[in-house]
A and B are shown apart, each in its own frame.
Chain A
Amino acid sequence: DTAVSQTPKYLVTQMGNDKSIKCEQNLGHDTMYWYKQDSKKFLKIMFSYNNKELIINETVPNRFSPKSPDKAHLNLHINSLELGDSAVYFCASSRRGGNEKLFFGSGTQLSVL
């Protein structure tokens, strides 16, 4: 069983479209995240949820909206996609605490044409 699974793995779409990326974890963790990795490999945190509650919302355009139906799921919906949204999006989960590592999904490669 995959601990953190995200779908789809690849997403190719046109500018202006709306798309969603789904993430599920079966580790029983309370905290889930979305990270964006740009073409230079820089990993930037976008959102963090703890027990379905939004904890961190970095300076991300409001076209990006996370949704957590329960603590095992954290989906990312993106409206009106732009060329600059092309990146790899990683979902991750962890227990709470500064000594807890993150478990990452395999990433979603988003290409906006």
Chain B
Amino acid sequence: AQKITQTQPGMFVQEKEAVTLDCTYDTSDPSYGLFWYKQPSSGEMIFLIYQGSYDQQNATEGRYSLNFQKARKSANLVISASQLGDSAMYFCAMREAHNNDMRFGAGTRLTVKP
């Protein structure tokens, strides 16, 4: 069974600095996708970035990048130049190719300080 672990319940970062949110996963399926979602205090789930298990390069989307280390089974999210609006819950998720579901980690609450 797939398992997603986010070990940081809460993180603080100074505005304009970079921050890394950790995510490790476990799966026996060689084909899978890794996702990060943001949930601000308003409650909606916002897709940020995707990394496929066969992708050779780390995914990037604007200020978001995914540090994918396949051998370590980690998929850390890096947010550069943090903004106050980045304060939110961040969820790492995985979807195996042969499964229909997406499983989520416990989330990390990021607070950006002015």
A-side residues, CB < 8 A to B, are 31, 33, 40-45, 48, 50, 55-56, 88, 90, 92, 94, 96-104, 106-107, 109
Q: What are 5 A-B pairs at a CB distance below 8 A?
A: A41-B39, A45-B103, A55-B101, A98-B32, A101-B47
B33 touching A104 by the CB < 8 A rule? no
Partner of A56, one of B32, B53, B101: B101
Given contacts A42-B106, A42-B107, A88-B43, contact A100 B100 (CB under 8 A): no
B100 touching A99 by the CB < 8 A rule? no
B102 touching A102 by the CB < 8 A rule? yes
Partner of B45, one of A50, A90, A98: A90
A45 touching B102 by the CB < 8 A rule? yes
| B102 CB to nearest A CB, Å | 5
A residues less than 8 Å from B103 (CB atoms): 45
| B47 CB to nearest A CB, Å | 5
A100 touching B107 by the CB < 8 A rule? no
A99 touching B33 by the CB < 8 A rule? yes
B99 on interface, CB distance cutoff 8 Å: yes
A33 touching B95 by the CB < 8 A rule? no
Instruction: Name the residue on B nearest A99 (C-beta).
Output: B33
How far, in whole Å, are A45 and B35 apart by their CA atoms in the complex? 16
How far, in whole Å, are A50 and B85 apart by their CA atoms in the complex? 36
A101 touching B50 by the CB < 8 A rule? yes
| B2 CB to nearest A CB, Å | 11
Given contacts A99-B33, A101-B50, contact A43 B104 (CB under 8 A): yes
How far, in whole Å, are A109 and B104 apart by their CA atoms in the complex? 19
How far, in whole Å, are A43 and B6 apart by their CA atoms in the complex? 13
A41 touching B99 by the CB < 8 A rule? no
Partner of B97, one of A31, A98, A102: A98
B52 touching A99 by the CB < 8 A rule? yes
Q: Which of A31, A50, A104 has the most chain B CB within a 10 Å cutoff?
A: A104
A residues less than 8 Å from B107 (CB atoms): 41-43
